[in-house]
Amino acid sequence: MISEKEFNSLIEKERKLINTKLKSVLAKRNPRSLYEPSDYILADQGKRLRPLLVLLTAKAVGGNYAKAYNAALAVEMLHNFTLVHDDIMDNADKRRNKLTVHIKYDVNTAILAGDGLLAVAYEYLLKNLIVPGNEVVKSFTKGLVEVCEGQSLDKEFEVKKDVSIEEYLIMISKKTAAMIEMCCEVGARIGGGSSSEIKALTRFGKNLGIAFQIQDDLLDIAGDEVEFGKKIGGDLIEGKKTFLFLKALEKSKGKDKAAFQKIIVNKGIQPGEVEKYKMLYQKLDVLNDAKKEIVLYTQKALRQLNQIKNVNDRQLLTFLAYSLIKRKY
């Protein structure tokens, strides 16, 4: 069985290789007015979770990394396309401790750079793609459509007074989980997985994606600003209805409930109020509620790995899942 040390070494090696390949994607393309901002986006070396999932799921069903790299690069470009548009809609000025694209350049440049990444993503997805190529493209496109639907629901929630936790879970199933779900499905298809393996890894991705987003909600208030790369309390400032906010609204009474309802009326809080609301979250124990939910969905994801025959491949995906629970950014 593979050890955690071997897992970390493999992931670091593949992450570096993905970064090297991404650097060459846009290097010689013109006009630079389009591709320089796109390069700036891809230079933000985050977790590279999505391309890693494509590689690991392809291998888990008996495929190899070589056939999956182009698809891995494609999903990372697609992911960054969504981040650019997300940052514009959220009026975010930083991501991973760097200026967002629309702040460094301007909004029109950011939109065009994001659209350019989407186009090149499809170009890379289609490279060397053979049967069942049509199903891979369908999965990729479905993931993109669901991300757009999820983002639209997220924007709806900003003005909607009553949002349930069930509605929130539907939204993140599209906005965040659909992309991770798609990465696992694409990897499994490219790797030549059986129908049962593809279904299991797709469900693995969906549940992992839900856990990932709730972890993001938690880090927004409980993380370290330098490690997280974004302003702490940003969701509260923007008035976002996250898992923690909805859980706090559900559990609170009297003055505490009125304080959370005030966020809905005012569509957010002032930066100076973040600490006050963090203390209310702690008082209501919603940080622990979020942690329990993260573990619940991670366990749901891991149960799907019983379909994977190779113990080392199961272990790799298990280590990856647990690394997301422990992450600080």
Domain 4-326 has CATH 1.20.1740.10: no
Q: Over the stretch 184-212, which tens digit does the pLDDT of each residue have?
A: 999 999 999 999 999 999 999 999 999 99
- Is the predicted pLDDT of residue 327 greater than 90, yes or no? no
Q: Over the stretch 122-150, which tens digit does the pLDDT of each residue have?
A: 999 998 676 556 899 999 999 999 999 99
Q: Over the stretch 162-187, which tens digit does the pLDDT of each residue have?
A: 999 999 999 999 999 999 999 999 99
The pLDDT of 317-328, averaged and rounded, is 89
Q: Which pLDDT does position 220 carry in this prediction?
A: 93
Q: Over the stretch 33-42, which tens digit does the pLDDT of each residue have?
A: 999 999 999 9
Q: pTM of the full predicted structure?
A: 0.92
What is the percentage of the chain residues whose pLDDT exceeds 70?
98
Q: Please, what is the average pLDDT of the chain? A: 92
pLDDT confidence bin for 329, thresholds 50/70/90:
low
Q: How buried is residue 199: exposed, middle or buried, by Cβ count under 10 Å (0-12/13-18/19+)?
A: middle
Do residues 52 and 127 make contact, with C-beta atoms less than 8 angstroms apart? no
- Is the predicted pLDDT of residue 226 greater than 80, yes or no? no
Q: Which pLDDT does position 68 carry in this prediction?
A: 95
Q: Which pLDDT does position 133 carry in this prediction?
A: 65
Q: Over the stretch 232-287, which tens digit does the pLDDT of each residue have?
A: 899 999 999 999 999 999 999 999 999 999 999 999 999 999 999 999 999 999 99
Amino acid at 233: G
Domain boundaries in the chain? 4-326
The pLDDT of 61-89, averaged and rounded, is 94
pLDDT confidence bin for 92, thresholds 50/70/90:
confident
Q: Which pLDDT does position 130 carry in this prediction?
A: 66
